[in-house]
Structure 1
Amino acid sequence: MSAERIYLSAPDVGEVEQHYVLAAMRSGWIAPLGPDVDRFEAELAARVGVDHGVALSSGTAALHLALIALGAGPGTVVVTSTLTFVATANAIVYTGAEPFFVDSDPATGNMHPGLLREALRGLTAAGEHVAAVLPVDLLGKAADYGEIGRVAADFDVPVLADAAESLGATYRGRAVGSLARASVVSFNGNKIMTTSGGGMVLTDDGALAARARFLSTQARLPVTHYEHSEVGYNYRMSNLLAALGRGQLTRFDGMLGRRRHIRETYRRLFAGLPGVQIFGGTDDADDNCWLTAVLVDADVAGWSAEELGDALRTLNIETRPLWKPMHLQPVYAGARSLLTGTAQRLFETGITLPSGSALRGAELERVASGVHDFVNVYS
């Protein structure tokens, strides 16, 4: 019988989460909304240091509503990272706005501030309305919000942080979730913490939070009958899923520590191998280590990231390339962009490895053994 599959980032849940969910069920709050939603919003907002949280059905829903609240819509442009998951771009299109893709900083894969300035200069000179700048925190490393914020402020454009991958990370001592006009986090099953599915808008802007909350419940007006003056969405998080999230929050620091341990294990495993480096560089003390990836220069290493992935898959170990850039996706082939080739190079040379906090010692040893055996063939 083949070995049990090892996943990139499986959900890490147990008795604590069972207690919270069972308590919510016993309370009678089974239908959407309820006290656990209110408490989850308040607890996560307090953790990252903002005034408001709006718990929603997915990170994509959170991006969609935050963009609407910032004025994205037909006739506007949103400048975003090309190296991201498709949900970032899709949420822009949902509003009717046009995505404009910017290439990556070579060291981190995150939005390049210099290219952002060039993009905003060109768009504003052409008289186009840029509704928002939408950087993405790749694999749990915060983007350069200091420089991105300065660039965006020079053009009077708000910043919305796609922090779907980076909850628990920091930037210059400040928590992700508090680094922009608004931030969006994801609680998908593979994220640093999960509510099965879900996401949240985090912000100090009370009006933005209120707008997102209003739109998320079908834009129902506060009268006794069902009254609607505009189109809304069914985007609210359920009380049961919020209870799961509250349980996860009580264990959050331990889960972060486990991912940090896994990162350091990989760093030791690949140390000294020619042509191989941990993606994101050595400065990862502020990262949440959501996923650990390596970049492979095949000409130097003698093997490629794809070959390593193929070898691990034969051992029933999941791997994945870095995100395929949006400008290379067929659905966005016609979108405007400002490119240097960096994102494409990272996609072609990078591979992500199992990194979840549910990854136990024997499983991590299995991955390490598989990597070691593969590399030895070329040494």
Structure 2
Amino acid sequence: MTTPGGGDRWTIHLSAPDVGPLEEWYLIAALRSGWIAPVGPDLDAFEREVADRVGTQGAVAVSSGTAALHLALLGVGVGPGDVVIVPTLTFVATANAVRYTGARPVFVDCDPQTGNLDVALVAEVLARLHACGQRVGAVVPVDLFGSCADYTALLPVCATAQVPVVEDAAEALGAIHGGRAAGSFGRAGVLSYNGNKIMTTSGGGMLVSDDLALLTRARQLSTQAREPARHYEHRETGYNYRLSNLLAALGRAQLLRLDGMIARRRQLRDRYAKLFAPVPGVTLLGAEDRDANCWLTVLTVNAARSGWRVEELADHLADRAIETRPVWKPMHRQPAYAGAESLLTGAADRLFADGLALPSGSSLTEQQIARVLGTIDDFLTERAGRATS
């Protein structure tokens, strides 16, 4: 039997959408209002509410986080011939958006303890690129798996180099660093409302910033760069990037529930931490960050100490219809970016080899959580028995 969204009804997914009666009410209200076209009062309200949540002067809602990244990079002046510093440990959209502008990404490795951008390497590559006379259009840190990058260290490095920061907070809405919300760092921030994110609009994203001129420019570009005339007037190439009013209504309902959804994910991470605490060689990535939104709980396994490989646990769970996922495959290993300039330490490669994202969704029932934890416990018990036999 399959669920309405597709897939086996018994499968426990990594991060399924968490929607209910409130979302239904908001969508029906938007439908009955007659604002079915792309713009409308829910879209305007959603932008205001997200900007208030993040702590920025404004926001522009668009069709995806990738679209928001593209517009943010254009907004800070990135263009052909530029280079943009990007973490190698990220989803491909971060790098793709750089290519959309005609610039090229330079990949930098991660901090092995958090998976986020290694700030010391950023400083090193900025000095190298400037010494070679290359223009660095932006640095794009990624708040990996819901934990903010180290902006306390990163922002001064970028300010000294006079390079703007575009924060890819697609995975981190609701997370905090130094008392500030994810998305509020740098010239612009980017959020994602994809179906598996901490909150969803089915598909969608948001550009947030204190730079109102940047936001005005992004809003125009996102609507095919139409000029304010009675007829359709276009002086430059624009994009069909605007979020619809109906999806914004869904997002408004999700935003009201965001704190509760984050709390459930944090509680689940704590239960994973308790389960794995006595297991040698197993750690949770970024577990010390109590201000993360815990979008995904990721464990890392040192097989020499644990006596088993991370793939064995993944296979054990898959055989029992429980979804997991490897850590992002580093960009420097992706065929689409073969030969790209990179500054590497091997940290991202190790996390890709040894890391695994576990079911983390706020929509998981207590019965489903018990099934996941029990299945993992069975695996650990079996492996411990093998080690002592």
TM-score normalized by the length of structure 2:
0.96
2:38 corresponds in structure 1 to 32
The 5 A counterparts of 1:1-379 are 4-281=10-287, 283-379=288-384
Do the aligned residues in 1 keep the contact of 2:87 with 2:142 (CA within 8 Å)?
A: yes
Distance of 2:213 and 2:153 partners within structure 1 = 26
2:387 corresponds in structure 1 to none
Distance of 1:217 and 1:30 partners within structure 2 = 16
Distance of 2:115 and 2:290 partners within structure 1 = 17
Distance of 1:173 and 1:154 partners within structure 2 = 23
The one-character-per-residue Cα deviations of 1:348-374 (angstroms, maximum 9, x if unpaired) are 000000001001100011100110111
1:115 shift after superposition: 0.1
Distance of 2:93 and 2:179 partners within structure 1 = 28
Do the aligned residues in 1 keep the contact of 2:282 with 2:301 (CA within 8 Å)?
A: yes
Which secondary structure state, in structure 1, belongs to the residue aligned with residue 89 of structure 2?
coil
Distance of 1:127 and 1:208 partners within structure 2 = 27
1:141 shift after superposition: 0.4
Distance of 1:167 and 1:198 partners within structure 2 = 13
1:5 shift after superposition: 0.3
1:60 shift after superposition: 0.3
TM-score normalized by the length of structure 1:
0.99
Q: Letter of the aligned partner of 1:286 in structure 2?
A: D
Which secondary structure state, in structure 1, belongs to the residue aligned with residue 191 of structure 2?
strand
Do the aligned residues in 2 keep the contact of 1:183 with 1:203 (CA within 8 Å)?
A: yes
Distance of 1:7 and 1:158 partners within structure 2 = 37
Distance of 1:105 and 1:250 partners within structure 2 = 33
Distance of 2:359 and 2:376 partners within structure 1 = 12
Distance of 2:183 and 2:298 partners within structure 1 = 23
Q: Letter of the aligned partner of 1:256 in structure 2?
A: I
How many residues are paired up?
378
Distance of 2:339 and 2:231 partners within structure 1 = 45
Distance of 1:284 and 1:75 partners within structure 2 = 37
Which secondary structure state, in structure 1, belongs to the residue aligned with residue 133 of structure 2?
coil
1:3 shift after superposition: 7.2
Can you give the 5+ residue segments of structure 2 that lack an aligned partner in the other structure? 2-7, 385-389
Deviating 4+ runs (over 4 angstroms): none
Do the aligned residues in 2 keep the contact of 1:145 with 1:180 (CA within 8 Å)?
A: no
The one-character-per-residue Cα deviations of 1:334-360 (angstroms, maximum 9, x if unpaired) are 110100000000010000000010011
Q: Letter of the aligned partner of 2:137 in structure 1?
A: A
